[in-house]
Structure 1
Amino acid sequence: MALPGFGWTTRVWRTRGLARWMFWIGLAITAAFVVLAIFAPLIAPYGFAESRVDGVKLPKLAPPSSYFIFGTNDMFYDVFSRVVWGARTAMEVIVISVIFSVAIGVPLGLVAGFIGGVVDRVLVFLMDALYAFPSLLLAIVMAFLLNQKLGNGIVAAALSITVIYIPQYFRVVRNTTVSVREATYVEAARALGANPFTVMRKYLFGNVIQSVPVIGTLNAADALSTLAALGFLGMGIQPNEAAEWGYDLNRALDDPLIGVWWTGLFPGLAIVLLITGLTLVGEGLNETLNPALRRRRMLPVRFPARAGADERETEAGR
């Protein structure tokens, strides 16, 4: 039984086939990284920028062993600790960027679609201008501008990624609002004297928000790849601010030339696994919530008892 307001949970449970397996496998992978992010101080043996223990420096480029299960890198950091702390960084950036994108894009799309006119044209023009830029290039420009104001931390990285996804939420919500605003129940609310804010909040918001969770999960996977790209290019989070997998990959570029494979393998695997998990969740939700794609479980058919007919058949047999 689904919780009130969470009817999609019933649809997820009743869906069968590949969509259901995609969703649950992706959810399990994502949940594993969420656990790493939440309990990073307990799981990681060292801090994300800790190179000394009791005044003794950690070994440089030590191979995986019982002391350092993922080895160490050229900055004397424990790779396993960097991977674990990197999960927290990734989750923080993903959550902040998606929340800000939804908080800005959804209301703007709702207002533009409902009011129309000059407001709609101006907002559509601005969002199309942002959407015309390549996403990574736009993130690099915003990171360059924000790093000067906010530094090379998590908030600056998250906000630079936020700009990419605002137009996506705006376009989806705006198009849905345009098609729904002429519905009978909206006209009835207007006739009863409801003001535009009330109509948007009570009668439109619940109908246009249904596709946002699917977009959010897919954007989360893309946000992680963008974060890794920014870190790889040196425009993201610096190592003294937080652990970031893209930066660690950049530092490990030349290591395979000297036979050091572990410094780049484990951060790269973490990026691939988390992107895969988030993508599977998004695709599973899309096929589950979309009526055109959803395959439901076939429930058993039970006909009501025919007491009168059974009695007549018994008497006829006598």
Structure 2
Amino acid sequence: MLSRLLGPIRSTTGTARWLLVAGVAITGVFVLMALLAPWITPTDFAQRSVDGVKLPKLASPSGEHWFGTNDQFYDIFSRVVWGARTALTVIVLSVLFSLVIGVVLGLVSGYVGGWTDRLLVFLTDALYAFPSLLLAIVFSFVLSNALGGGVVAAALSLTVVYIPQYFRVVRNTTVSAREATYVEAARAIGAKDTTIMSRYLFGNVVQSVPVIGTLNAADALATLAGLGFLGFGIQPNEAAEWGYDIERALDDAQAGVWWPAIFPGAAIALLVIGLTLIGEGLNETVNPALRRRRLQEVVMPARGLATSGVAAAGTADGTEGER
């Protein structure tokens, strides 16, 4: 599957390639921030003092505090950088969980059919009928009592939102592929159902899953920020979260103190743009209807060489005719 994905990328030019390059570049900056957070930030995400000296409250951006400080005596630059780690961790976990569960359920539902298919379709359609943010709020409220208000609870609350999307795509593709000739041949040689689904169907029904995953990643970040803004996301003592920081900065923004809200908001916007560009670029790359392949230049022979070649051919024909 990786070779099938890399092949179109190498042969794609124009808008799709620039979308991918721009998206990877923007997202790569946030990945580096997340990985290097302990070394590039002056304080921890919940640290209010340095060497026993308390940080100033609502200090404007300066050389000492690049993004200023907020009303909780936190360094905003540190909160933004640590928030990148929180956001990417939640995104990776939620997309990975929903991908694994949705793909497995879609394969089973599409291949087995019958009442199993009807029941799974009914359950996933019921989940899909809810607005994504409302569904995430409900499961966040339920899971926070069992798992606490940490990263895992936030990731699982987002997982429930995206399972129906993977289920629908994989299930519909499996329904059309289960009657294919290669599946019938596998049944004829006595292959088990689990073998058919894992070896013969899986690779053919997950072609569009990477594209859905990148698009869901952007939506998951926005949903996570919405949960934090409404107070249903990650607790502030568990990790830095951009949506919570924006909610805390609303009163300061009304008073003319702009920096506590502008930097977390800009981080959310940039990362959403980066992930969306990756998804759109992959969509144009993988989708044959949208992809434009690089055309090889046709080199015509020189005029003199072409004339001499025609003359030589005519001489040869004439010689054969005389013989």
For this structure pair, what is the TM-score category when the shorter chain's length is used for normalisation? over 0.9
| Structure 1 CA distance for aligned equivalents of residues 82 and 70 of structure 2 | 15
1:7 Cα shift?
Answer: 2.6
Flag structure 2 segments of 5+ consecutive residues without an equivalent.
302-308
1:222 to 2:231 alignment: no
* Distance change (3 Å), C-alpha of 1:258 and 1:184: same
* Distance change (3 Å), C-alpha of 1:177 and 1:303: farther
RMSD: 2.1
1:89 to 2:86 alignment: yes
1:303 Cα shift?
Answer: 8.8
| Structure 1 CA distance for aligned equivalents of residues 79 and 314 of structure 2 | 77
1:312 Cα shift?
Answer: 3.5
1:309 Cα shift?
Answer: 7.4
Amino acid at match of 1:130: L
Amino acid at match of 1:150: L
Summarize deviations over 1:237-278 as a string: whole Å, max 9, x none: 111110000000000001122221000000000000000000
Amino acid at match of 1:127: T
| Structure 1 CA distance for aligned equivalents of residues 37 and 314 of structure 2 | 72
| Structure 2 CA distance for aligned equivalents of residues 207 and 313 of structure 1 | 54
| Structure 1 CA distance for aligned equivalents of residues 174 and 116 of structure 2 | 14
Flag structure 1 segments of 5+ consecutive residues without an equivalent.
none
2:196 is matched with which residue?
199
2:173 is matched with which residue?
176
Matches within 5 A, 1:58-69: 58-69=55-66
1:268 is matched with which residue?
265
| Structure 1 CA distance for aligned equivalents of residues 312 and 261 of structure 2 | 78
TM-score by length of 1: 0.94
Matches within 5 A, 1:2-13: 5-13=2-10
| Structure 1 CA distance for aligned equivalents of residues 169 and 11 of structure 2 | 27
1:252 is matched with which residue?
249
Amino acid at match of 1:82: R
Equivalent of 2:112 in 111, 115, 120: 115
TM-score by length of 2: 0.93
Paired positions, count? 314
Matches within 5 A, 1:47-86: 47-86=44-83
| Structure 2 CA distance for aligned equivalents of residues 92 and 310 of structure 1 | 72
Percent of paired sites with the same residue = 68
1:38 to 2:35 alignment: yes
1:210 to 2:218 alignment: no
Equivalent of 1:232 in 219, 229, 232: 229
* Distance change (3 Å), C-alpha of 1:316 and 1:194: closer
1:313 Cα shift?
Answer: 5.8
1:29 to 2:17 alignment: no
